[in-house]
Amino acid sequence: MSRIGFVGLGAMGSRLAGRLLAAGHQVYGTNRTAAKAAPLIARGLTWCETPREVARSAEVVFSMVTDDAALATVACSRDGILAGLTPGKVWVDMSTVSPHAARALAGRVERLGAALLSAPVSGSVPSAEQGTLEIMVGGDPRVLARVEPLLRLLGRRVIRVGTNDQALLLKLAINISLAEQMLAFAEGVLLAERGGIDRKLAMQVMLGTAVGSPMLKARAPLILDLPQDAWFSLRLVQKDLRLALDAARSLHVPLPGAAVADELVTVAQKLGYGERDLAGLFEVLAQIGAKGERERPPVSRATSDANPGP
């Protein structure tokens, strides 16, 4: 058994903390919304009032929060994780944040005599629950060797990528592909449906071809029945797209597909889909298409029947 801390018990973090509890570890945890921790407390999690208390109580601290601002809050505030770290402890941050934030935080942790591994994941809520995430790790390989048995409780593959910031860059590279794949698939399904082909049939055929990636196959049922609880919300999709676009500018890499996806997600947020799953892009496209049809000017019979000639 290890004394493990977990800061951030949202949709993903709660599943990961639950797997650590199920493996018999003593888990100390905290979350911005205490009510979300109630099921874990019932399973044996020790509630802490602050991230600082979590870090003081644990040998290894995990965290998973939404963005750079949230990470700065749980890390750097008066009662943050940094205030509770002591030499020899390991902090594994599984948040998807900017590469420069990961690099800066790693330096601060190292100056305390502790170690930070950046370990963003590929996979959504079902993957977190089943322990089938892909975990990309940046940081000291010797530190990774110490905590790899814990990470293998959470993911089917644990891959050391390089430095802290490189792990985050690779995660962003994956997420721009997720958004672009989903957008392209939604476009194809909508085109087929508007041409009179049954939506379910169109999806079945498309997923059986070379375009049917594992991600699309897993999310296809959500296009038919979009759930209220997102696996990966469009608000967070846009956060990652913009982090990727920022990184691309500094590296002089063109990302035209990511830029188009970002524009559509902006429309999705305006239509109220910010907290809906990535699969909601289909409904957004359908709404845009229907609006365009309504706004199309009527064509007179004389015009439509006229032969335009050469």
Instruction: Check if 171 is active-site.
Output: yes
3-state secondary structure of 203: helix
Task: Identify the DSSP state of 298.
Answer: P
Residues ≥6 apart with Cβ < 8 Å to 164: 99, 102, 103, 105, 106, 116, 117, 118, 138, 139
3-state helix, strand, coil in the chain (%, to 5): 55, 15, 30
Q: How far does the chain reach from its first CA to its final CA, in angstroms?
A: 82
Catalytic residue among 36, 89, 171, 217: 171
Tell me the HSE value of 117 on the side-chain side, using a 13 A CA sphere. Answer: 29
d(CA 140, CA 146): 10
The residues assigned a catalytic role are: 171
